[in-house]
Amino acid sequence: MNSKIIVVGKLKEKYLKQGIAEYAKRLSKFCNFEIVEVPDEKAPEKLSTAQMQQVKQIEGERILAKIKEREYVFALAIKGKELSSEEFAAEFEKLTTYGHSALTFVIGGSLGLSPAVLKRADAQLSFGRFTLPHQLMRLVLTEQIYRAFMINAGSPYHK
């Protein structure tokens, strides 16, 4: 199985890199796991609506270029479906049972995801209505992917 997170921008914080690296190492016994970074589009602090749409479109094109046709795509979006860890694990189990061996998660840039990326997504996933830094979301998502595998393996990790 392949599990991939596509993110906009670079990760600078050492403590987040260390946490992600730890979960990535743990995930290696369950799947081929990778994080793919695409460049964020440089933009002024104050943007018009048209400029915001243009930035999202450019970042969206970069994201879509990293998604293969057969990948099942989860877009992280505030309006997405909220799942418990157990429901998330069950979703993983169901997808792999029905032949989806490549799961891809997309975390957009600071302005969010383009309509084209949301359209390409097979599902939209929300971690609640909190606004979280994109860099921190990488760590949270990586841990939840690991937790899903542990739940499905019947491990006490989840307790």
Residue stretches of the annotated binding site: 76, 108
- Is residue 18 within 8 A of residue 49, CB to CB? The reply is no
Residues in the chain: 159
Other C-beta atoms closer than 10 Å to the C-beta of 49 total: 7
Q: Letter for the amino acid at 8?
A: V
Cβ contact 32:145 at 8 Å: no
CA distance 42 to 122: 28
Rounded Cα gap, residues 159 and 152, in angstroms: 13
Backbone dihedral region of 7: left (phi > 0), alpha (psi from -120 to 50 degrees) or beta? beta
Please report, in range form, the residues annotated as the binding site for S-adenosyl-L-methionine: 76, 108
